Structure 1
Amino acid sequence: MYPLLLLFYSSFARSQVPLVLTPEQLQTDFARFQTALQEAHPAPYRYTPKGTFDSLMVATRARLNRPMSQQEFYQVMTPLLVALRDGHIKWIVAGRDQHYPFHPDTLFPLKLYFLQDKAWVVGSYDTGTIPPGAEVGAINGQPMAAIIERLLAQGTFADGKTLNGKYEDLNHFFSGYYATFVGAPATFDLTYCYADTDTTVRIAPVTFEAIKKYEGTLRIVSQNARLSFEDSTKTALLTIRRFWTEGDEPSYKKFLAQAFREIETRKCTALILDLRDNEGGEEKYGIKLYRYLAQRPFRYYDRISVRQKKALSFPAYTPKLYRMLRGLVVKKQGDGYVFTAQRGLKIRKPERHAFAGKLYVLLNGGSFSVTTEFAARVHADRRGTFIGQETSGAYEGDNSGIFAITQLPHSKIDLGVPLFGFYMANLPADLEKGQGIRPDHPVIPSIEDVLMGRDPAMQYVRQLISNQ
């Protein structure tokens, strides 16, 4: 369920793509795309009705009747990915960064922060002089609100009806989105407002290497999972940035055992669990964490669906583990199949040192996949209070786990299809189809918060605890 699958995509060698793809080549690639969804995706109609999706497939195929560049084909096909409403689906031009697949030498030079239909400058990838905090009014004569609307419609980092993941993608990768779906001109005419003054300037593009260098200077290397205490309020703060471990990082299992023993020893009455920007990882990590928070035995997943049991008919990479586990797929009543061997399907008991105090969970649009699954269990069991923003993952579950990776033969675009459909157990009866985990206390950072480095959600939850 890892959010980034670049290690899988390296399985395919990069090869030359024709400058122009013929209609016959486009139709061949479309057929591979269609077959991959039909044979591998566990729930293509989970959020978009079959009739609606099938009609979109027919309309898209009809558009592939003229020669196209790789980028044009990428653009024509993207609405199909969006219509799946599956944030785990992968659509990556082979050998290129998934967020900057085209025009690496002519990218928009400013880092922006987005809120609804507005955007502000928060940094520059070159030595530009646009002041941080300036509100962008237009780029090359096109209003910023229209650009945002256009790019949100192309975003795939969202399950169901959620939007915050798409905004997070724009916050991080706007320059790539703009180059892919709007354009990559030789210059950008930028209209902005700062200190109540409107200004229009012409700015030069930057390279992908400049963006990587800039982002590298901002990256803070810190421990993935960490615990601290605020003794004045008997509060523990547990931060988990991802649900997997790398390299020589401490054992997650041992970390949790030690952390919750210490929380118990210190007699903490409140726990803040910060899961913002945690895009997920391994399912067992979320299940293990909830065992330290649950107050009674629980079932994590209701079921795990798969599309079929037999081998795929098209060329694709699948992990050896999946090929070994196919024998554990069984047919259920009706036409579906389910995967039966997963610890989350069984009744799990709380851990010995499970925390019994008040739980506060911080979430935002970067909280996805395993993180949303965990939050769904907490929320459905009414175990905690949520602060922040709606998750990009869907409350009812997701399509993820192990992936089948196939490369479209002529366009050389890699399609990653999740093979398991996870459905959470014991969901609320009033759950809205396609919603994420919505906070009890919404807190959205303003542009001033971003520029000043303030954390309004953390400030809010601390005030909430001190007032109780």
Structure 2
Amino acid sequence: MKIGRLLFFMGLMIGLGCSVAPAQTITPDQARTDLTYLKRKLDLLHPGMGYYTPKTRMEQLYDSLYNRLTAPMPYMTFYHHVSPLVTALKDGHTNLNHRKNFIGKSTRFIPFYIRPVGDQYFISHNVSADTSLHRGTELITINGRTVADLHRELMEADHSGSDGDNLTGRRQWSLVQFADYYAAWYGSADSIRITYRLPNDTLVRASRLHCLTLTSFRNTIQRRYKNEIDRRPNLSVRIVDTLTHTAVLRVSTFMGIKKNDPFQWAFNRRLKKAFRELKKEGVENLVVDMQGNGGGIVLNSARLLRYWMPKPFTIMQHEEMKRAARNELITRWNPFSVLNFSLQYKSNGSGGFASRFSRRHYRPRTRTAFKGNLYFMMNGASFSASTSVLAKTLDAGIGTFIGEASGSAYWGDFAGHFKTITLPYSRMQVRIPLKKLTHAVVADRANGFTVEPDFTVTRSYDDVLTNRDYVLDYTLRLIREGVVARQPIQPIGAQPLQASR
């Protein structure tokens, strides 16, 4: 993932103008009230209670956590205590977040990005004052614990961006945002002790490094690695090989381009421009880069699919929610919200509500449709609406998938609308999805629980040293060799552009 997106993700956890909150002690009564409140809200609102983890197991876990609340505890200890109830859902859209102002402009972060190669971890970008920590330095321990052990704990502590027992999403996010995850789980620290090995050296060294505020982190990254910052806009086209007529379409998000654009016209215009350019350049092999695309608006994912789907399609088979979710989507002071809900939803016959328009049909593009070979670069951070695109494409029997498994399930996920609740005493916040979204796909066409790659690509140590886009390099080699996993759907009488090997 490029530096520009790394900096963006780091900022997601920071409230500008905030400072680190003072220490807080939670009494047993307060803790039990908070935990009970959370469990009640999950039971009322979350459409996936019992889906990945049986309800009996969730009840046992809740009882165990509740019964252990017998003594006062610091805020961070209670944060760790609550976390298992949220992670047990195994839902990548359900997030446990700190109370407001806990993480802020004074929070200090570990001063580097790290990347794994096999079982080892290496510094890829160093923003510490010690400039001898060159790219490729092996990071062995932080504060006496191995990086592998820390990474494993952070993966288990937060299931954000990863559904079910899938590990790729948790592994990807906890590394991309390692400094954020570390600060959220262990707290802010002025400095850390590390042991490491410099490139081409067997000596294990030790050092103490000062941690940086987000502002200092960003400023140093932009100064030291300015040539590596990814400034490509979303939906940008780049011709990468004129000999094989290959281009890369970067799809970094399905969120809207403009804030006040309810119909997503700006996104649609940029998408049209991109595919007009592809047609003008005579592109025969299109690489769709969806690495790190955490999702967004389903309408925008459908608009992208229109450029290669062979026939009319729907994205969702069902969109359902629990009865209590209705009260989160309407407001008493706005009578139009009640009318709008009635227009949008109907009773599903089992006590909840179903969308009236979930099976909306989309027609494929004609003049600007792409008819060549499609290659999708993806990773664990290809989540939510990104997985919807990948699942629908796989279901249609087209495309070649490269990288690692996506973060969401092939069948669908829990998303759509969200309710963020605040626990009464600790003031921790939990984001709860309100809808169960089931993809309109055939189960037998799945290639795994998620969308799995046809070609799995992993990082080498040389890739770390050169900061190479190793997934793209592998994809371009497949294209040069004429390798495709699935042939594009050809109109009657048309000849395939390339033969598979």
Of 42, 52, 68, the match for 1:37: 42
- 1:15, 1:145 → 2: CA distance? 28
For 1:144 and 1:310, the matched residues in 2 are separated by 41
Give 1:443 deviation, angstroms: 1.1
1:248-281 Cα shifts (integer Å, max 9, x gaps): 9982212222333343344432211111111111
C-alpha distance in 2, partners of 1:28/1:83?
20
Q: Aligned AA for 1:91?
A: L
Cα contact 1:101–1:180 (8 A) shared by 2: no
For 1:458 and 1:412, locate their aligned partners in 2 and report how far apart those are by CA, in whole Å. Answer: 44
Identical positions, percent: 25
Cα distance between partner residues in 1 of 2:270 and 2:191: 51
Q: What secondary structure sits across from 2:73 in the alignment?
A: coil
- Aligned partners of 1:396 and 1:424 also within 8 Å: yes
Offset, 1:167? 2.2
SS in 1 for 2:323: coil
Deviation at 1:96, TM superposition (A): 4.0
Structure 2 residue aligned with 1:173: 177
1:348-387 paired onto structure 2 within 5 Å: 348-353=362-367, 354-387=369-402
Cα 1:84–1:324 change in 2 (3 A) is: farther
Counterpart of 1:211 in structure 2 is 217
The whole-number CA distance in structure 2 between the counterparts of 1:186 and 1:223 is 35
How far is the alpha carbon of 1:286 from its aligned partner? 0.4
Q: In the aligned structure 1, how far is the partner of 2:253 from the partner of 2:167?
A: 21
Deviation readout 1:329-375 (Å, 9 max, x if unpaired): 32324455322234xx1332211232222111111122111111111
> Structure 1 length as normaliser, TM-score?
0.86
Closer, same or farther: CA 94–321 of 1 in aligned 2, 3 Å: farther
**Residues 16 and 232 from structure 1, CA distance in 2 versus in 1: closer, same or farther, beyond 3 angstroms?**
closer
State the alpha-carbon separation in 2 of the partners of residues 397 and 320 from structure 1.
Answer: 32
Larger RCO (CA within 8 A; separation ≥ 6)? 1
1:224 paired with 2:229, answer: no
Q: Tell me: CA distance 1:14–1:62, structure 2 relative to 1, closer, same or farther (3 Å).
A: farther
Q: Which runs of 5+ in 2 are unaligned?
A: 1-7, 483-501
Kindly report which structure 2 residues correspond to 1:29-108, keeping only aligned pairs within 5 A, or say none: 29-96=34-101, 104-105=107-108, 107-108=109-110
The aligned residue for residue 111 of structure 1 is 113
Q: Deviations over 1:97-156 (max 9, x none)?
A: 7xx579924x43332113454311123332123332122222333233322222221122
**Correspondent of 1:241 among 231, 252, 271:** 252
TM-score by length of 2: 0.81
| Alpha-carbon distance, 1:92 to partner | 1.9
2:243 & 2:12 partners in 1: Cα distance? 45
Do 1:120 and 1:132's aligned partners in 2 also have CA atoms closer than 8 Å? Answer: yes
The answer for the alignment partner of 1:341 in structure 2 is 357
In the TM superposition, what whole-angstrom CA distance separates every residue of 1:232-260 from its partner, at most 9, and x where no partner exists? 22223211111123349982212222333
Cα distance, 1:117–1:153 mapped onto 2, change above 3 Å: farther
Contact 1:88/1:399, CA 8 A, preserved across alignment = yes
Corresponding residue to 1:439 among 434, 449, 453: 453
List gaps (5 residues or longer) in structure 1.
none
Q: Please tell me whether the aligned partners of residues 19 and 101 of structure 2 are also in contact (alpha carbons under 8 angstroms).
A: no
> Is 26-35 or 265-274 further displaced after alignment?
265-274
Q: Against the structure 1 CA distance between its residues 184 and 351, is the aligned structure 2 distance closer, same or farther, given a 3 Å change threshold?
A: closer
Q: Contact 2:139–2:197 at 8 Å: present in 1 too? A: yes
Q: Deviation per CA, 1:364-417, whole angstroms, max 9, x where unpaired?
A: 122111111111111121111101111122222111122112211211112111
Secondary structure (helix, strand or coil) at the match of 2:26 reads coil
Aligned residues: 456
CA distance in 2, matches of 1:201, 1:224: 41
With over 3 angstroms needed to count, the CA separation of the structure-2 counterparts of 1:216 and 1:341, relative to structure 1, is farther
Against the structure 1 CA distance between its residues 101 and 265, is the aligned structure 2 distance closer, same or farther, given a 3 Å change threshold? Answer: closer
Q: Within 2, Cα distance between the matches of 1:284 and 1:330?
A: 21
In the TM superposition, what is the alpha-carbon distance from 1:18 to its structure 2 partner? 6.8
Mapped pair 1:428 → 2:443: yes
Q: How much does 1:226 deviate?
A: 0.8
CA separation of 1:34 and 1:50: change in aligned 2, threshold 3 A: same
Aligned pair in 2 of structure 1 residues 14, 37: CA closer, same or farther (>3 Å)? farther
Q: Which 10-residue stretch deviates more, 280-289 or 159-168?
A: 159-168
Q: How large is the RMSD of aligned CA atoms in angstroms?
A: 3.4
Distance apart, 1:205 and its partner CA = 3.3
270-279 or 420-429: bigger deviation: 420-429
Q: Deviations over 1:10-54 (max 9, x none)?
A: 8xx999877211111111211221122112211122211212222
Q: Tell me if 1:466 matches 2:480.
A: yes
Supply the distance in 2 between the matched residues of 1:386 and 1:321 (Cα, whole angstroms): 44
